[in-house]
Amino acid sequence: MKIGILSDTHNNTDKIIKAVEFFNLRQVELVLHAGDFSFVSSAKLFSKLKMPMIAVFGNNDLDTFDLEKTIQPFGQIYHEPYSFTIDGKKFILSHRLYNTGEKFDYIIYGHTHKAHIQKTPQALFINPGEVSARRYGRSTVAILDTETNHAEIFDLDLEN
């Protein structure tokens, strides 16, 4: 399965639109958002995704009730950490990096705004960086292919 991953959108509507178009163009089958939409108005932009979205609340997502209500028509949002299984692979999705003591195939997180992929014997760690480009100046997302166990970071400003 091809999964799009993003985090820390922080209400940057232009970059969110780019991320949605990027995932739609690449025909990912699911999008994971690792928190920090910031405002409900920016979460609405994800309704243009052609695939479902699973998200977690970040530390800047204060209006959790309205965020949940906004996302429900096209996805799901949970309090972190949220664990689930897809195609027999165990995921944990959180805003901050959590160590639950459980074994996971994929550990997806955000919060640091720094894109990072690390493969260890225990799991594949994926931080897609920041869509907002507010801390490091790069608007990044990731794509994970669960069949090949390969993840890659993409800079939205360099992609068509």
Render pLDDT for 70-125 as a digit per residue (tens, 0 to 9): 999 999 999 999 999 998 999 999 999 987 778 899 999 999 999 999 999 889 99
SS3 118: strand
Following DSSP, what letter does each residue of 10-56 receive, concatenated? TT-HHHHHHHHHHHHHTT-SEEEE-S---SHHHHGGGGG-SS-EEEE
- Kindly state the tokens that stand for 42: 């920016």
More confident residue, 11 or 100: 11
Over residues 129-147, the mean pLDDT reads 95
Taking the C-alpha atoms of residue 101 and residue 44, their distance in angstroms, rounded to an integer, is: 35
What's the pLDDT band for 1 if we cut at 50, 70, 90?
very high
Domains and CATH numbers, the chain: 2-155 (3.60.21.10)
What's the pLDDT band for 62 if we cut at 50, 70, 90?
confident
What's the pLDDT band for 57 if we cut at 50, 70, 90?
very high
Give the percent of the chain with pLDDT over 70: 99
Report how many helices (DSSP H) and strands (DSSP E) the chain contains, helices first.
3, 11
Closest CA to 28 of 54, 9, 56: 54
DSSP H helical ranges for 40-112: 40-43, 64-71
Phi–psi pair at 14, nearest 5 degrees: -60, -45
pLDDT at residue 160 in the model:
57
Q: How many CA atoms lie within 13 A of 100 on its CB side?
A: 16
Tell me the pLDDT tens digit for each residue of 13-25: 999 999 999 999 9
pLDDT at residue 152 in the model:
98
pLDDT at residue 100 in the model:
72
pTM, entire model? 0.96
